[in-house]
């Protein structure tokens, strides 16, 4: 009886593995592009700052272009 469940469980893990791999690919693709930019000096960042560390200007999120 335990052998009858084996293919279903394997399918579950294969499906989960595909979803995890897709998530990792999406995360690495979006990590290549900065997410925030300083309004004053146009410096781009991967982290949300309240003020720009370079010029202390306002930092805003970059819209997906």
pLDDT at 52 over 90: yes
Do 44 and 28 have their domain in common? no
Q: How many domains is the chain built from?
A: 2
One DSSP character per residue, 18-60 reads HHHHHHHHHHHHHTTS--EEETTT--EESS--SB-TTT--BEE
pLDDT-derived band at 37, boundaries 50, 70, 90: very high
What 3-state class would DSSP assign to 25?
helix
Do 42 and 25 have their domain in common? no
pLDDT at 31 over 90: no
Range 13-33 average pLDDT? 82
Please state, for a pLDDT cut of 70, what percent of the chain lies above it: 77
Do 28 and 1 have their domain in common? yes
Q: What is the CATH number of the domain that holds 49?
A: 2.20.28
Single out the residue of 31, 49, 32 nearest to residue 40, CA to CA.
49
Q: d(Cα 58, Cα 39) in Å, to the nearest integer?
A: 6
Do 28 and 45 have their domain in common? no
pTM over 0.75: no
Range 39-55 average pLDDT? 90
Task: Give the domain range for residue 25.
Answer: 1-32
Range 19-44 average pLDDT? 84
* Phi, psi values for residue 53, rounded to 5°: -70, -20
Do 17 and 41 have their domain in common? no
Do 11 and 28 have their domain in common? yes
């Amino acid at each position: 009886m335990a052998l009858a469940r084996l293919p279903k469980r394997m399918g579950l893990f294969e499906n989960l593995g595909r979803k995890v791999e897709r998530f990792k690919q999406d995360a690495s693709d979006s990590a290549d592009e900065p997410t925030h930019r300083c309004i004053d000096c146009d410096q781009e960042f991967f982290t949300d700052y309240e003020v720009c560390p370079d010029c202390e200007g306002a930092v805003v999120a970059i819209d997906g272009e």
